[in-house]
Amino acid sequence: MSKSIFYHAGCPVCVSAEHDIIDLVGSDNVDIVNIGEDRNRIADAEAAGVQSVPALVTPNGNTLHLNFGASIEDVKG
Amino acid sequence: MSKSIFYHAGCPVCVSAEHDIIDLVGSDNVDIVNIGEDRNRIADAEAAGVQSVPALVTPNGNTLHLNFGASIEDVKG
């Protein structure tokens, strides 16, 4: 894959980081996934090593946790 | 300013994140500062809101803490 994936859950920290990431890498280079709404993607996020949101999974599969909005466990509820 | 600044302290988490950020935004778009070695930049990092490294300060002044390598207090020692 060549795009990064930005996982978030709609929290204020998430939205702020989303704007920063789009500014930095360009909206064409990142897929935005709200795992609070698109709950069948939670498993994808966990498989990629996402422990909290917001997080960016890079094209080479590394996960960068950006600040802290909510844990995956909190999103799962 | 138009460049981001990536603050780190040479830790393994920092080096990994540095590679990811350079891959994502391009080495021309980010200044790399090792506050473990370049200790007179610690004050700059703190002024930008950096609480731990690695961290990326975006051109618009937002600070994104990327994973967690070490706290600023630990770097100050």
Convert the pLDDT of each residue in A28-46 to its tens digit.
999 999 999 999 999 999 9
How many Å apart are CA B74 and CA B77, to the nearest integer? 5
Please identify which residue in the block is written with the tokens 């995956």.
Answer: A72
Contacts of B29 in chain A (CB under 8 A): 24
Whether residue B20 and residue A64 make contact (CB cut-off 8 A), yes or no, is yes
Question: What's the pLDDT score for residue B2?
Answer: 82
The dihedral formed by the CA atoms of B14, B17, B19 and B23, expressed in degrees to the nearest 10: -160
Convert the pLDDT of each residue in B13-69 to its tens digit.
999 999 999 999 999 999 999 999 999 999 999 999 999 999 999 999 999 999 999
Q: For the range A20-26, what are the long-range contacts, defined as Cβ-Cβ under 8 Å and sequence gap of 24 or more?
A: A20/A66, A20/B58, A20/B60, A20/B62, A20/B64, A21/A56, A21/A66, A23/B58, A23/B59, A23/B60, A24/B4, A24/B24, A24/B25, A24/B29, A24/B58, A25/B24, A25/B25
Of A25, A59, A64, Cβ closest to residue B67? A64
| Domains of chain B, each with CATH number or no CATH | 4-76 (3.40.30.10)
CB proximity under 8 Å: A 8-67 to B: 16-17, 20, 23-25, 29, 56, 58-60, 62-67
- What's the ipTM? 0.91
Which residue in A15, A56, A64 has the most chain B C-beta atoms within 10 A of its own C-beta, making it the best mutation to test that interface?
Answer: A64
Question: What's the pLDDT score for residue A67?
Answer: 95
